[in-house]
Amino acid sequence: MTTQLEGAPEEVVTNSFVRDIDLKPFGFEGTLALITLDNGLDFNRPNTFGLKSLQILDAAITDALSRKPAAIAVTGKPYIFAAGADLSGLAHLASRQQALAIGKLGHDVFRRLGESEVPTFAFINGLALGGGLEVGLHCNYRTMATTALSGLPEVFLGLVPGWGGATLLPKLIGPERAVQVIIVNPLNNNTMLKAKDALTLGVIDAVFEPADFLEHSVTFAASILNGSKKIERVDYSEDANWEKALATGKAAALKKYGGADIDAPRRALELISASRTATRSAGFDAEDETLADLTMSDALRASLYAFNLIQKKRKKVEGAPKPALARKVAKVGVVGAGLMASQLALVMVRNLKCPVVMTDLDQERVNKGVAWVHAEINKLVEKKRMTPEEAGRLTNLVTGSTDQSIYAGCDFVVEAIFEELSLKQQLFKNLEKIVSPECVLASNTSSLHVESMAEGLQHPERVIGFHFFNPVAVMPLLEVARTSKTDDETTATAIAVGKELKKTMVITKDSPGFAMNRLFTRFMGEVTDAIDEGTPVEVADNSLRSLGLPMSPFELFGLVGPAIMLHVSETFHDQLGPRYRISPTIQRMVKDGVKNFYIKNEDGKFVPNPAALALIEKGNKPSTAEQVKDRALRAMAEEARMMLDEGVVATPAELDLSMILGGGWPLIIGGILPYLDSTGISEAVCGKRFHPRGVASLP
């Protein structure tokens, strides 16, 4: 097999350097052959394993063995052990045979460490993910730096740990803990293991501080070799918790993907189950076959596209002005002291670490908002995520008043008041009398026209949309909406603030709903229209289960609330036209105070809410689940094409990013547009694909 796949970017090669360490000073007569993984780049580009890198490691192991050492150890460059397979080439694999060969090569190289004639050690000095951690699992013993993070994120990407992880880890730490690391953690926002957690789970054998990590790790190796330290291993083949563990993993996958049966977690659970009795060779063969199947799937290509998209857009915002145009922000104002405004104040003070001032209509509301921010900061101390001293500094930076003159001296003011245009217009007129002409006036609106808020201002060029998603601290997406008058300095300042807040941003045109809400509302409207036409609630709600969405439409409806849904649909109906229909069912629900289509019964299970069912429009044109799914997806394709033609966002990628980070749509469908392309809906509705060359060709 060649070392370069056609069309794939050139591999960033990770070299493997071998040197001898005399163990006599550490209490053992002999040498340790230390293999250091290093791609020659800084810590922003971790060590990875492509075809050539695997071949180099293979040669290094041969070199190490030729030195007749007492033991072999593998470590990484500063701060990095290895981040696993080089994913950049996977989307360019042309055949299953190629995929099978990559899996087999990784096994053939790594298993030499597990089946070596001398003991092997992994000195995990930094980040160890996927294939990187699997290198360590093949070794006989493992140490880890206290600052290192580790994990097996493959299921998160639509793969399985395919270089030994799915076979070796259950044998090492047992089924329950293995399911936690291989299934539950990746599906929980790709949770990583801290060193102390890895030690508790039994993934590693010892933890040392980074300053003298290598010295302590070599001492640990010597103590194993001279017999002064023994590590006991447990045989988990007869563990009584295998079935329970597998059931836990299955439940986690179903919850993550809204009940859809997704290949990657199911196939990973099959491998974990088989590891109970499988030999190493049989387990590795099964991993090869599974990895080859998944690597050639559309789901993986969509997932890699989505993953790479997130990484790219986190660093560079499409259409952003030059960063040098951004003004310094040394004081921030938040208008409002309700929950959303308080969340904004908290994220601002935590990340910008500058004075944050809040106002509201009366002192009681102001005090409540400021107290909430202070309480949240104190919770971080209780969780040991912040020192008392740092918390004290931050709480002193957050103050409030009913007097808007406290905004004097602010460089950036964001409003989060009631969604009423006239109120926001008057607010900005008042603020313009207080703040400097350079102060940015931002709105957290989700549906109103930002440029209309700036009508009558002397400096409308400093007004911009700055739309967060709830909960603010958790949701990574931030929409930055430019009006026709917003200047580059204002936009650059907003982008700079967003980056300080660690948000991934999409610049949008100042149009109703911006990107995510407009697309999402069109989708939801088709589902509610279907029930108004006579489709049973359960049929409409379950129609999109196969997409793997984290919530069904009406689960999300209950979270957002009918009042907000009605307000948004009415706004879009007025501004975008009759394709955004106003549901009489939702109107009745708002009028009667009915909050959801589902309620919990006596057994704690969610069942249709009789109060909601009684209010549903009695249509006589019911649809099947497949028909509801088809119409919802076709509507999204139509709306996406209109948004691109109108210039709401610069490229289709921004719409995909919005649905992934703002709507929680799974990576395995690439956001939304790659799925519409792959199913033929894009061409059927719009006459062309959104990604003409396919997601595999995109950076």
The angle at the Cα of 597, spanning 593 to 603, to the nearest 5 degrees, equals: 110
| Options 3.90.1150.10, 3.90.226.10, 3.40.50.2300, 3.40.30.10; CATH of 15-296 | 3.90.226.10
CA 358 to CA 345: how far, in whole Å? 8
Is 154 annotated in the active site? yes
Tally of helices (H runs) and strands (E runs) in the chain: 29, 20
Contact 35, 46 (CB under 8 A): no
Find all residues with CB under 8 Å of 615, minimum gap 6, and list them: 585, 588, 589, 592, 594
Is 389 annotated in the active site? no
pLDDT exceeds cutoff 90 at 227: yes
pLDDT value at residue 696 = 56
Choosing from 10, 115, 117, 154, which is the catalytic residue?
Answer: 154
pLDDT value at residue 671 = 85
**More confident call, 377 vs 94:** 377
Q: What is the mean pLDDT of residues 484-509?
A: 98
pLDDT exceeds cutoff 50 at 2: no
User: For tokens 């993910």, what's the residue?
Assistant: 129
Sorted by where each begins, the domain ranges of the chain are: 15-296, 324-509, 516-647
CA 647 to CA 590: how far, in whole Å? 34
pLDDT value at residue 559 = 86
Domains 15-296 and 324-509 share a fold: no
pLDDT digits (tens, 9 = 90+) for 446-465: 888 999 999 999 999 999 99
Backbone dihedral region of 482: left (phi > 0), alpha (psi from -120 to 50 degrees) or beta? beta
The rounded percent of the chain whose pLDDT value lies above 90 is 88
What is the secondary structure of 155-182 as a DSSP string? HHHT---TTTHHHHHHHHH-HHHHHIII
Q: What is the mean pLDDT of residues 505-512?
A: 96
pLDDT exceeds cutoff 70 at 699: no
Choosing from 134, 432, 479, 526, which is the catalytic residue?
Answer: 134
pLDDT digits (tens, 9 = 90+) for 68-78: 999 999 999 99
pLDDT digits (tens, 9 = 90+) for 583-605: 999 999 999 999 999 888 888 78
What's the length of the chain?
A: 699
pLDDT exceeds cutoff 70 at 356: yes
Helical (H) or strand (E) element with 112:
helix 96-114
Its CATH class, for the domain covering 324-509, is: alpha beta
CA dihedral 671, 677, 681, 684 (to 10 degrees): 150
CA 274 to CA 271: how far, in whole Å? 5
pLDDT exceeds cutoff 80 at 96: yes
pLDDT digits (tens, 9 = 90+) for 603-651: 878 888 999 999 999 999 999 999 999 999 999 999 999 999 999 999 9
pLDDT digits (tens, 9 = 90+) for 114-123: 999 999 999 9
**More confident call, 460 vs 94:** 460
Does domain 516-647 fall under CATH 3.30.470.10? My reply is: no
The angle at the Cα of 582, spanning 580 to 587, to the nearest 5 degrees, equals: 155
